[in-house]
Structure 1
Amino acid sequence: MKNSEILLVKELEKSIEQKISLLKCLNTAYSCSLDLLDNKSYDAFLEKLDVQQKLLNEIDNIDSQITVTADKYESYKNEILAFINGYKGDSNLPVMLQKFIEDITTSRKLLKSCKVLNEKLTYRINEVQNEIKQNMLTFKNRRLIKTGYSNVNTVKTGLVIDYKNN
């Protein structure tokens, strides 16, 4: 491998390691959010959503910090893949590339986990939202019925009505 390819791999590996740590935090935040939502701790849940958004912004910022341009990456990508594929087994790969491949695998697993947790969270939020809407509708209907009864029935209790038939 050329020195420039090694620097590229190191830079990409550094960014992947940062993303892995942030994805672990995001994974934890999703799990905590689900627990808070199940326990109806809505204020704490909203705080966790803010934390999740900050983590997602940090992950986006990592990509902007990489100095490797797409042109450089594309030119090196084929060479690095050819170098990796040239070895018959992972044991023949240099330690740096083995770690790089492990990091990529770990990040993919974390991304899948985050995706599943995000889908669960979205589903659960929709459930809670529908439940709250139903409770509000029930409350509104009860209030309308209560006020409707008092408006229609203006007669006070204990009032005697004298009815004469002609």
Structure 2
Amino acid sequence: MRTLLLLLSFLGLSGCTGMPDRVEPVKGFELNRYLGSWYEIARLDHSFEAGLSQVTANYSMREDGGVSVLNRGFSADENTWREAEGKAYFVEEPDTGYLKVSFFGPFYGSYVIFELDKQNYQYAFVSGPDTDYLWLLARTPQVEPEVIDKFEQMAKDRGFNTDQLIYVDQQVASAP
């Protein structure tokens, strides 16, 4: 619940559907290929995700044409799973990777896909409304080093502080 409240605070404070100056959303985006489960590989950290491992995002269609968003992560400190449910809608044309996402009422934040494996939709580089928000998502819990190198370079070129990146632990803890 605390994570959800922090996430809501973030969206309420940002309430912005803009994007960083040097970020351009991908064109030729196909939502149906993007739907499903993604693993969070790397991120710039924020209070609403602090300390979470095994972070995933699941996207599915809503009846109103939008996208349902379910973010989930494990807090080892609390030995609990945290979830946040939201909704997303295109800001521009549906073939442009530029959406607005809300986890609470009328407050939306940007979700800008600025790089995507268009052949197989296996990874995506995502920005928020400014250079404080950045994620590398993938269909698998690990990616090739070349994808990480590309992510770091593209993010740095766009003004993100890549020295602050957190690489998410996607390993499931084994039972004692």
TM, length-normalised to structure 1: 0.25
Higher-RCO chain (CA-CA 8 Å, sequence separation at least 6): 1
TM, length-normalised to structure 2: 0.24
Which protein has the bigger strand share?
2
Which protein has the bigger helix share?
1
